[in-house]
Each structure stands twice: as C-alpha cells, then as structure tokens.
Amino acid sequence: MGTVGTATVWIESDFFCVTKLTIENLVGKDAEKRQAVALRVDGDKAVFYQVRLVGEQDTLLDSNGTHYFYKSYIEGSVDFICGNAKSLFHECILYSVAEFWGAIAAHHRESPDEDTGFSFVDCTIKGNGSVLLGRAWGEYATTIYSNCDMDDIISPMGWSDWDVPSRQRTALFGEYQCSGKGSNRTGRVEWSKSLSSEEARPFLGREYISGDEWLRLQ
C-alpha cells in the first residue's frame, strides 16, 4: 500500500483539533514493511497540541492544508515528517530512531506557485542514528529550522536533493540561529542556506500559517 494507504489515523476534515493523544504505527519495525504512517492530514486549518506520533518511516504524512503542531512529539526514522502541507512545528520534539541513516523531513512542493513548506521553530532534535534535516521530495521542497536545538545525530551534510541535482537550484533548505552540536554547518551541502534574520522572519511565527485568521489560542 506504500505510504498513502497505511495511516493509523487519516484526517480529512477542516478545523480539526487534537489534544494529548498518542497515535502509533509500528508496522515499520518489520523490515519488509518499512512505510507505515501514524497520522495522515489532508484537512485544512488543523491544530495538534501535545500529540505523540510514533512510527518509523513516514510517521507523519502532512499531506495537504495549513497546520499547527505545538509542543508535540514526533518519532521516526526515514522521512518521518513528509508531504506538501504548509505547517508550523513549534516547540516540538523530533526524535530519531534511525538505525543506519534517516531524514526528518521530506517536503513535496513541486511548483513555485504552491504556497507550502515546513517551518520548525524552537524545536528539539534528538534520538539515535544519523539523520538528515531534510530531503527534496519535490522540485521546490521548502524546509526551514529556526532556533532549534540539534543533538549530534544530524548528518554533517544536513540535506539531500533526492538524487535529482536540479532540485539544488529550486529547493529552499535553511537554518537560522540553531544550537547544539548538530547545528554546525561546516559540512553542509553548499546549496543549503544559513538564513539572515530578514530571510527567516516570515517563517518564525504563527503568521507563517496565517494563524491570526483561524487560531484561537490562550
């Protein structure tokens, strides 16, 4: 069934809100069935607060829509946050269980006309096994890490073009004021970016997902 048909929970409705729920898909622990989605989200304007998503490959299929993940825990190994949504991950824990190699994010934006991307702000990255920050699943993949604490599990190169060199010119992979041993950009691929404060500003707050129009947070 690949990625799209394996979800434990599949959300298609708009304005969906989940709080303090654990969603798991452990099928991926079987070497013959690596792809196993815990949560697939296709609805627009969804909020996930203190949610635990546990899996291995493709744990979160953040497929379509605008979403807010706040103080949540996401565990996996290969591309464990993937899809073409426009999502803000704020104060989340990203936990790698990669055995040999892995990647946190695989964004699937294919066109410059699409307004999508993953923004990770004030997140903590830890676990075991070397992982990339992101892979360019789509030609215009967009993934930004800002003010994140990165453990030494981050592969020095940081990013991958998915073996499609043309994506080096079109993908936007950036880091801004991150900390921890894994934030050392010395070995990063040259086509990734160390963002200035001006470049990072659009990705830093709830404005990134037009949160003032639909989020109601105390």
- Asked whether residue 214 is domain-assigned, the answer is no
How many distinct structural domains can be found in the chain? 1
- Asked whether residue 179 is domain-assigned, the answer is yes
What is the span of the domain harbouring residue 49?
A: 9-209
- Asked whether residue 168 is domain-assigned, the answer is yes
- Asked whether residue 3 is domain-assigned, the answer is no
- Asked whether residue 216 is domain-assigned, the answer is no
At 16, which CATH number?
A: 2.160.20.10
pLDDT per residue as tens, the chain (218 positions):
556 678 999 999 999 999 999 999 988 565 555 688 999 999 999 999 999 999 999 999 999 999 999 999 999 999 999 999 999 999 999 999 998 889 999 999 999 999 999 999 999 999 988 999 999 999 999 999 999 999 999 999 999 999 999 999 999 999 999 999 999 999 999 999 999 999 999 999 999 999 999 997 65
Q: How far apart are CA 139 and CA 111, in angstroms?
A: 7
Q: Could you tell me where the DSSP H helices lie in 144-205?
A: 167-170, 197-204
- Asked whether residue 4 is domain-assigned, the answer is no
- Asked whether residue 100 is domain-assigned, the answer is yes
Active site (catalytic) residues? 58, 79
Q: How far apart are CA 103 and CA 163, in angstroms?
A: 14
- Asked whether residue 122 is domain-assigned, the answer is yes
Give the chain's end-to-end CA distance (angstroms, integer): 41
Do residues 96 and 77 lie in contact, with contact meaning Cβ atoms separated by under 8 Å? yes
